[in-house]
A = this chain, B = another copy of it.
Amino acid sequence: MAQFPLAPGSSIGILGGGQLGRMLSQAASRLGFDVVILDPQAESPAGRVSRQQITAPFDDPDALEALGRLSDVVTFEFENVPSAAVDLLAVNGAAVAPGPTALAVAQDRSAEKAFLNAVGAATVDFASIDSADDITAALPRIGLPALLKTRREGYDGKGQAWVRSADEAEAAFEAIGRAPAILEAKADFVRELSIIAARGLEGEIAVYPLGENRHADGILRTTLAPAEVRPDTAARAREIAEAILDGLAYVGVIGVELFELADGTLLVNEIAPRVHNTGHWTQDACLCDQFEQHIRAIAGWPLGSTDAVARVEMTNLLGEDVLDWPALSADPAARLHLYGKGEARPGRKMGHVNRVRGL
């Protein structure tokens, strides 16, 4: 087993070679670590900026064992990692962070909301659903309209269906493929906020200021941070983040999406046990961004400063948005972060731009 804190020159393994893996790898390199990526796509965005890539499916046992052998600690750019994979990663003695509990909780929307409520973080009312009849039975408590989501997988609005009347129960269940599901009450929120926070190996916690998010077609478009919020809202968000991190004995960076209601109440929409799209603003506003923070946490280093020294509007560059690079590159306040992806398919996250303003 490696000794923590990991010395520079140690190896960090990352499951997933997309943009989050790429920015994690770049942060790790700045601290003198070597990085190994596992991804099925040869020369993935992250692989191209890392010492080594193992090109194999995420469930390939040999590849998972090899990644663990080459790494002192292994982490993830996505949450849908089967626990069997985590076990294989650890076969050769590599640490794995965040741990299996956090992954298991985040992989099941029903378990996630139950966990959140248990640690005192409010959510919308919800019910676990295994049949269309379950929907009909739950509706009197959940109310209309209600949102049906698969319990596992699905992101950016995929695997979801609205139930606007009891008649729609069967159609909605069919629409999400009759998979185990969760029925959620509609949140009557005034805006979506998110909070990025980290917990270190010794249990210390660092929390970034809140971001305010705008989505379109279920995909994040912009985050404005630090968001303008009442002091008690900021304090409550920090409490929620701390309760979640401690409740999971978490190590690393977590993203917590919040609904702000008209009366200031915060409900947790979902948690992502990884660096998060709504935390990209930290790259150009904080001395230690979410990517370095995650690397610091999993390497057992002290956490870095989460103070914002600027205000940033982060805008995702989706699909052909990235073709605007000539104009974006000419704006001195626009910090470009491009992911090295070839094909600008509609909706594909190709990069983001952080527009920096004074505080």
Contacts and interface: CB of A to CB of B under 8 A. Distances in A.
A182 B171 CA distance: 86
Given A8-B322, A287-B333, A305-B332, A49 B32 contact: no
B7 A337 contact: no
A110 to B, nearest CB: 39
A76 B166 CA distance: 68
Contacts of A50: 48-49
Most buried by B among A25, A301, A329: A329
Nearest to A339: B32
A325 to B, nearest CB: 6
A34 interface: yes
Contact of A32 (B284, B296, B351): B351
A269 B33 CA distance: 36
A356 interface: yes
B49 A29 contact: yes
Contacts of A164: none
B8 A337 contact: no
B26 A48 contact: no
A231 interface: no
Nearest to A304: B332
A82 to B, nearest CB: 30
Size category of the A interface is 35 or more
A118 interface: no
Interface string A207-223: 00000000000000000
B26 A336 contact: no
A50 B26 CA distance: 10
A241 to B, nearest CB: 19
Given A30-B336, A30-B338, A330 B356 contact: no
A32 B340 contact: yes
A186 interface: no
Contact of A336 (B31, B330, B342): B31
A296 B329 contact: yes
B8 A29 contact: no
A29 B26 contact: yes
Contacts of A325: 7-8, 32
Interface in A314-345: 322, 325-326, 329-330, 332-333, 335-340, 342
B8 A26 contact: no
Contacts of A302: 329-330
Contacts of A235: none
B5 A34 contact: no
A351 to B, nearest CB: 7
Interface of A: 5, 7-9, 22, 25-26, 29-34, 43, 48-51, 284, 287-288, 296, 301-302, 304-305, 309-310, 322, 325-326, 329-330, 332-333, 335-340, 342, 351, 356
20 contacts: A8-B325, A8-B340, A26-B30, A26-B49, A30-B336, A32-B325, A32-B338, A34-B48, A34-B340, A48-B50, A49-B50, A49-B51, A287-B356, A288-B332, A296-B329, A302-B330, A304-B332, A305-B333, A309-B309, A309-B310
A-B residue pairs, 7 tightest by C-beta: A32-B338, A305-B332, A48-B51, A302-B330, A29-B49, A8-B338, A301-B329
